[in-house]
Amino acid sequence: MLNFPQDTKNEQKCDVTHGTMGHLDPKQPPVKRRPFAAILAHPFIQKVELLLPSEIYEIVKSNLLQEESRPVWDRVILPLSALLEGEFFNQYIKTGYVNIDLGNVMMLSEGNPNVTNKYSLREGILTMHLDKESYERAGIVGKPEGVKGKRGTKPRWIVEINLRLPSMLHGKKGFDRIVYAFRNVLLSPVTWLFHDLATTNTIPDPLTAHFPTKKVVVPEVRKDLKVNLPSFKPPPKDAQESYTGGFEDYAVELHEWLSMLALKSPRVELGDQTKTDSFLSRYVPPDDLETNHKSLVHVKWEGFLSSLWAHKIFVQLMLELPKDTWFAYIVGGFGEGWSGECKNSTILKLPEATNEYILWEVA
């Protein structure tokens, strides 16, 4: 854990892990150990980025950037009550209780969870971030959300409902109370991002009746980025097999360098430091930059993506790219909770080391 001032209790923090992935079975890829678990921990993913040397880009292009491998999602306008009606409820929510591969969708509504009402649906659990008035009028049990007693903030409430429970059926008292709240209190239609995770297509598709707009995620590729690479080699350990203070500096500088590349900043490009006024830009690249010039490729997928898809892409990279090469894999989420800050995971596969990695988790 990197050191932070004591008054940042409710602020984002960054955990850094240096480890080895171990054996990777393509038939049963890991899901519970790092760094794989860090990818699957994202409830919703807004973007996935890949940084790698130009000489291995053709492997990625031929295996991962084909049209048939592009994720597809929808934008649709629905009231909350539509989630509990007809085939939409039976196929997309209830079926997942029996077969997760057939009835498993994720949905995220518009809105700011700290200002307006916002909803999400994942693995059958509907999460609602409500203001005080909507919560009291709806009459559904929830719990307070946000920092207690913070001045300048209005009371917020969070309600979680597992719609896959056997008791969630029309005619049941508790379920009918939810239906009533959706039809009489939380009745305004909202725009949703919708992603069907099913492995087989549903015919007829219940979503078609609501006239969705289909979106295909086309990767954005930037080629021939000329940079001087920093040294990816971690600092040595002491006699007790623990890192000294040098590891913190190493982790901070390397993560900052990777972030600048992902942000398309010219500050990390070759020769930029000689023409940039230090008064205008205080960023300084790592001190251990190599003098030989390297060409990089930046691939970016942006949309409404699932952690299962991001996990699959990472596993394919580990299996198909040369073992002695390096690459960086960045997964960024949507704004979550009362703070609206984004969860972010960055994985650096170290060069000249089989399955050795550095993982940064910002949450």
d(CA 33, CA 140): 37
Give a yes or no: residue 6 inside a domain: no
Residues 106 and 64 in one domain: no
Residues 224 and 330 in one domain: yes
> Residue 325 to residues 119, 154, 311, 348: CA-CA distances in angstroms?
42, 51, 20, 11
Give a yes or no: residue 341 inside a domain: yes
Reported as a single tens digit per residue, the pLDDT across 122-159 is 989 999 999 999 999 998 999 988 766 555 567 889 99
pLDDT at position 339 over 90: no
Greater model confidence, 13 or 300? 300
Give a yes or no: residue 93 inside a domain: yes
Q: Are 121 and 190 in contact (CB under 8 A)?
A: no
Residues 189 and 313 in one domain: no
Mean pLDDT of 229-258: 80
Mean pLDDT of 107-119: 87
User: What is 262-311 written as a DSSP string?
Assistant: HTT-GGGSTTGGGSS-TTT------TT--SSEEEEEEEEEEEEE-HHHHH
pLDDT at position 213 over 90: yes
Residues 174 and 105 in one domain: yes
Reported as a single tens digit per residue, the pLDDT across 215-240 is 999 999 999 888 888 888 888 776 55
Residues 38 and 84 in one domain: no
Q: 161: domain range?
A: 72-216
Give a yes or no: residue 235 inside a domain: yes
> Residue 257 to residues 57, 167, 246, 284, 341: CA-CA distances in angstroms?
20, 51, 17, 9, 21
Domain boundary among 182, 199, 216: 216
d(CA 58, CA 253): 29
Edge-first strand listing for the sheet containing 220-228: 14-20, 356-362, 341-349, 327-336, 45-53, 293-305, 220-228
pLDDT at position 93 over 90: no
> Residue 149 to residues 8, 11, 86, 116, 152: CA-CA distances in angstroms?
16, 16, 43, 20, 9
Percentage of the chain modeled with pLDDT above 70? 83
Mean per-residue pLDDT over the chain, rounded: 84
Under DSSP, the state recorded for 93 is I
Q: Return the pLDDT at 262.
A: 92
> Would you place residue 83 in the very low, low, confident or very high pLDDT band (cuts 50, 70, 90)?
very high
**What tokens appear for 68 in the block?**
């048939």
**What tokens appear for 331 in the block?**
């997964």
**Adjacent-strand bridge partners of 226:** 295
Mean pLDDT of 51-75: 89
* CB atoms near residue 206 (< 10 Å): 16
Residues 206 and 281 in one domain: no
Domain boundary among 174, 189, 216: 216
Q: How many domains does the chain have?
A: 2
Domain boundary among 156, 185, 216: 216
Give a yes or no: residue 248 inside a domain: yes
Q: Return the pLDDT at 68.
A: 76
Residues 51 and 186 in one domain: no
Reported as a single tens digit per residue, the pLDDT across 189-204 is 999 999 998 766 666 7
Q: Return the pLDDT at 360.
A: 95
Residues 111 and 128 in one domain: yes
Give a yes or no: residue 9 inside a domain: no
User: What is 36-60 written as a DSSP string?
Assistant: HHHHHT-SSEEEEEEEEEGGGHHHH
Residues 225 and 318 in one domain: yes
